Amino acid sequence: MSAGVRERPNSNLLSALRDPDFALIEPYLVKETRITGDLLYRPGDNIAQVYFPLGPSLVSYLVTNFDGRDVETVMVGREGAVGGIVSSGYLPAYCRITVKFGGPFLRATVSCIQAAKDQSASFRRLFARYADCLMAQMFQSSACNAIHSIEQRTAKWIVASMDRTGEDVVPLTHEELASLLGVGRSYASRVLQKFKADGVLNTSRGALIVKDRDELVARACHCHSSVRAHFDTVLQGVYPDRE
């Protein structure tokens, strides 16, 4: 069944569409709820659906290494979409794409999105610009993993999650944070304990509670702010403002 959306959904990317462009896909959008850990794509899957996270929902791109460890490269929230953004679809996924923070989503078939691109140059340009922003995030993530400390990267990922969800409570376990960083759980735990001792955050079962956002931002590398600045240049207003 279609979502029956009469007002724009809580997706910054979809809200950036002109009214005639949004009307091209609105009847075909399907609303659903996804839970944390849901698998959207595994490597080799044909990409047939485009998913738009709504509100605090968050999606993660995970690359599996030969030693079996998953390394998170990109997070996507209400500023974007996953699956067949540039291509016409029905191509194999390269990595695992999972739901990191569960919540509401909209989805549409790749063929629906492609038909809208074919009908509207402005629709096509918006998605091409978003693809540029997503690529910039991937480039920055690669550089960040190479040169920044675990503490800087930990602060960056928590701030990025807060900005996308608008919440001071980040539902992130020690294991999940270690996956984000590409390190062992013990390394991630030591950094969190230091942040906790310094009064930056508290930890609870399955969540991080941020107490001093300004200090967390000060401890983060500049990678997140660089990505956000690129979004603001290429797609002004699409990256979430903290609420």
The confidence score (pLDDT) of residue 201 equals 93
| Predicted local confidence at residue 6, as pLDDT | 53
Average pLDDT over residues 205-229: 90
Q: Mean pLDDT throughout 133-150? A: 88
**Alpha helices in the chain, H assignment, sequence order:** 12-15, 19-25, 110-119, 121-147, 150-165, 174-181, 185-197, 213-219, 223-234
**What's the CATH architecture for 145-234?**
Orthogonal Bundle (1.10)
What pLDDT does 2 receive?
44
Beta strand 201-204 pairing with 207-210: antiparallel
Query: What amino acid occupies position 232?
Result: D
What pLDDT is recorded for position 33?
97
Q: If pLDDT is split at 50, 70 and 90, which confidence band does 188 have?
A: confident
Nearest to 73 by CA among 81, 86, 63: 63
Residue with the bigger pLDDT between 183 and 89: it is 183
Give the pLDDT confidence score for residue 87 in this predicted structure.
65
The reported pLDDT for the residue numbered 103 is: 94
Q: Which two tokens stand for residue 4?
A: 């029956």
Average pLDDT over residues 96-101: 91
Q: Where are the domains of the chain?
A: 12-120, 145-234
In CATH, 12-120 is 2.30.110.10: no
The answer to which of 122-136, 163-177, 194-208 has the lowest mean pLDDT is 163-177
Average pLDDT, the chain: 87
Helix axes 150-165, 185-197, angle to 10 degrees: 80
pTM: 0.87
- The pairing of strands 169-170 and 58-64 is unpaired
- Half-sphere exposure of residue 86, counting CA atoms within 13 Å on the CB side? 9
Lowest average pLDDT, out of 46-60, 125-139, 168-182, 199-213, goes to 168-182
Q: CA 145, CA 139: separation in Å to the nearest integer? A: 10
Give the pLDDT of residue 3.
47
pLDDT in tens, 7-66: 689 999 999 999 999 999 999 999 999 999 899 999 889 899 999 999 999 998 888 776
Q: What is the pLDDT of residue 123?
A: 96
One fold for 12-120 and 145-234: no
Return the pLDDT at 193: 92
pLDDT the model gives residue 233: 93
